[in-house]
Amino acid sequence: MTWSDHLVILPILLPLAAGALSILLDGRVRHGPATVNLLSTLGLLAIAWILAWRTLGPGSLADGAQVVRVYLLGDWPSSFGIVLVLDRLSATMLALSATLSVGALVFSLARWHRMGQHFHPLFQFLLMGVNGAFLTGDIFNLFVFFEVMLAASYGLALHGSGKARVKAGMHYIAVNLVASLVLLIGASLVYAAAGTLGMADLAMRAPLLDERSRTLLEMGGAALSVAFLVKAAMWPLGLWLPAAYSTAAAPIAAMFAIMTKVGVYALLRFGWLLSDSRSPDFFNAQWLMIGGLATIAFGALGALASKETPRAAAFLTMVSSGTLLTVISIGDLSLVSAALYYLITSTLAAGALFCLAELAERDLDEKKPAAEDQGELAVPLLEAYGLQEDEPQDEEVGVPVPAVLAVLGIGFLACTLLMAGLPPLSGFIAKFAILRAMFESGHMGRAWIVTAALMLSGFATLAAMTRIGMRLFWSDAERPPPKVRFIEVAPVAMLLLCCVALTAQAGPAMAYLRGVAEGLSAPSSYIEAVRNAPRMREPLAEPPPLGSRTHQEGAAVAPLIVPALAPAASAPSPASALPAPPAALPSAPAAGGAP
Amino acid sequence: MEIVIAIAIGILTASGIWLILRPRSFQVIIGLSLLSYAINLFIFSMGGIKVGSPPLLDPSQTDLTIYADPVPQALVLTAIVIGFATTALFLVVLLASRGLTGGDHVDGREDR
């Protein structure tokens, strides 16, 4: 194992260390936390790109072959220990979250990071949770990283405080706490049914389960997918999203654009890992499509109805989430690559839109009375918790941009084109690729439904954005141009230029994503890589082959393990003490009862 | 034994769900706590309920059937810690909301 093999864990360790360090530096070193945060985020970007490069197979970009890198934590064998798995899909998602976070962070450095406490540590912990969720190889750690991500996002959603944020934040926290509990139910049901929490292990055992355990497994899967769909904001489960995203501070809302995609990622991952033979069909089923269509409709209507730009942007995030759910529900290989292209485009565009909205609405906001926001009780309590509402001070950071309305207008136009899926930008290519793949895959009936949904939602998006654009840029001729600095325009331009680059290089990008989809659709490479992950040190006792430890054979297998354990038990090494539980106990819920 | 645990989980879950649907933020937080107790018991019982069997390996005992499943116990510890932390966090938000609105309604104001 060379140093470069440890790169896999760095997307988790680096933000953890940077977050902890910036807590220590807070208040001691001027600009300390901001510097640490920026360096760590840039480092993550570099690492994500290196990792994406290293997962490529020996062939061309479009080659489905992939190098799956497995990182055994503490060098436990993969069937017992915790593993991180990096394949092309997770590497792509890591690169996307790193790119978005650089944009959001640079934007926040102009003034938003001073609006409350601990912005920088929370930002790093959010990144840690997101990266961990993309990398983890088992269900329970998926829960843990979801919690890390959500706990940081609770803090960030309230960043800057204020009545609206606290109210929306409270709803957001309550809904997501319940969703986490549902995720726990799902994880424990899966464990009860299959006797494992590892995704690769589960994918291998699922087809071999008997009827009783299968029912349990499918219930567990249903609970898991409900939890993922809350994160992905499917229609009845995603009503928390518009309020939470539209009240959050702009760079934070931009960062949140990746969080709905974490839910979509989990659905994709489980759906394809369990896609073999008799595996349950709970992650890509008919109802997922219905839910996705409902989400599109709800998001489009909401965008039409909303007056403020951030609120419209939040609803547009729901539209993109619904589109993704609809598309992945069909479960066709070419659709997955188109969906991933759409995912990347819509995430970057949503991030840019949240930032632009704040820039363009900046001095419109100041006309609103701010004083009524705080009740009488507010002041002492808020000071006690460090929650007082800091209106950002208008001190100069960087140089104001000339012709600011023109710059903002061009950015807004680009966002509109991307969101509505109009040519020439990558939003159009994404929707075109989706529709083409739909019609080529032969699901004619569903293809027409999806076509109608995409066209109508694109039309609604265009109408909503046009109306907002007219209000922002044309309604008030005497309006003084907002004070905007280069440091705020640059990240928005960076995100939009990424979309332009995706448009210009659509061929290679689609080829790469096709390779990602092929890697995803051949779960055997993932499963084999996790099973055969080499350990640094030779094990003292070789665990028996996994295939023999299925649920039905639980009772028969127990004696098989005993000889393997016996020499280990006398050895002092702790490494040999663990390998018992998952093998012997799956039958416990069924057989092991009290008298 | 199973039936006792099942009834306990059922009662806790039912009370928890009823409470999180109530309009007062304090009721919501108590409901979330009860719900997380129910889930913790549920995870615990998913390893199979065995009375008086150790979860740790004893070198002199090579018969694996006498052990309790240690994995759910480890999971439940993690879940307790995480649930505790998030509840504490929710409590802070609740207090902030109380300070900002002067009331404890989850929407920040009463429906009249």
pLDDT-derived band of residue A525, with 50, 70 and 90 as boundaries?
A: confident
pLDDT digits (tens, 9 = 90+) for A324-351: 998 888 777 888 889 999 999 999 999 9
pLDDT digits (tens, 9 = 90+) for A302-311: 999 988 888 9
pLDDT-derived band of residue A574, with 50, 70 and 90 as boundaries?
A: very low
pLDDT, greater one: B42 or A376: B42
Query: What's the pTM?
Result: 0.84
Give the mean pLDDT of A368-374.
Answer: 41
pLDDT-derived band of residue A369, with 50, 70 and 90 as boundaries?
A: very low
Output the CA angle B49-A278-A212, nearest 5 degrees.
Answer: 25
Give the mean pLDDT of A109-119.
Answer: 81
Please tell me the predicted confidence (pLDDT) of residue A594: 36
Contact A151 B89 (CB under 8 A): yes
Contact A588 B98 (CB under 8 A): no
Contact B62 A593 (CB under 8 A): no
pLDDT, greater one: A416 or A284: A416
Residue A386 backbone zone (phi > 0: left; psi -120 to 50: alpha; other: beta): left
pLDDT-derived band of residue A384, with 50, 70 and 90 as boundaries?
A: very low
Chain A within 8 Å of B73 (Cβ-Cβ)?
A: no
| Cβ neighbours of residue A397 closer than 8 Å, sequence gap 6 or more | A109, A110, A111, A485, A487
Give chain A's largest Cα–Cα span: 86
Contact B99 A167 (CB under 8 A): no
pLDDT, greater one: A553 or A467: A467
pLDDT-derived band of residue B54, with 50, 70 and 90 as boundaries?
A: confident
CA B97 to chain centre: 24
- CA-nearest of A315, A222, A265, A253 to A85 is A265
Give the mean pLDDT of A81-101.
Answer: 92
d(CA A277, CA A175): 35
Please tell me the predicted confidence (pLDDT) of residue A547: 45
- Give B79's contacts in chain A (Cβ within 8 Å): 184
Contact A167 B108 (CB under 8 A): yes
For residue A452, with 0-12 CB atoms within 10 Å meaning exposed, 13-18 middle and 19 or more buried, which class applies?
exposed
Range list of H helices, A118-247: 119-135, 139-157, 163-194, 199-205, 211-232, 241-247
How many Cβ pairs closer than 8 A exist between chain A and B? 159
pLDDT-derived band of residue B110, with 50, 70 and 90 as boundaries?
A: low
pLDDT digits (tens, 9 = 90+) for A132-186: 999 998 899 999 999 999 999 998 988 877 888 888 888 899 999 999 999 999 9
ipTM, 2 dp: 0.93
DSSP state of A80: T
Q: What is the domain partition of chain B in residue ranges? A: 2-49+68-101
Instruction: Tell me the nearest-neighbour CA distance from B48 into chain A, angstroms.
Output: 4
Residue A86 backbone zone (phi > 0: left; psi -120 to 50: alpha; other: beta): beta
Please tell me the predicted confidence (pLDDT) of residue A365: 53
- On whether the CB atoms of residues A263 and A232 are closer than 8 A, the answer is yes
Candidates A177, A197, A562: best to mutate against B (most CBs of B within 10 A) is A177
d(CA A58, CA A67): 9
d(CA A14, CA A125): 10
d(CA A536, CA A425): 48
Which residue type occupies B35?
L
Chain A within 8 Å of B101 (Cβ-Cβ)?
A: yes
Give the mean pLDDT of A494-511.
Answer: 90
Looking at the partner chain, which of A181, A377, A584 has a beta carbon nearest the beta carbon of B99?
A377
Terminal Cα-to-Cα distance of chain A (whole angstroms): 51
Q: Select from 1.10.287, 3.30.1370, 1.20.120, 1.20.1740 the CATH code of B2-49+68-101.
A: 1.10.287
Looking at the partner chain, which of A162, A570, A588 has a beta carbon nearest the beta carbon of B48?
A588
Chain A within 8 Å of B85 (Cβ-Cβ)?
A: yes
Contact B93 A170 (CB under 8 A): yes
3-class SS letters over A257-285: HHHHHHHHHHHHHHHHHCCCCCCCCCCCC
Give the count of alpha carbons within 13 A of A378, CB side only. Answer: 16
Please tell me the predicted confidence (pLDDT) of residue A227: 92
Interface of A with B in 187-216 (CB under 8 A): 187-189, 191-192, 197
Instruction: Tell me the nearest-neighbour CA distance from B112 into chain A, angstroms.
Output: 18
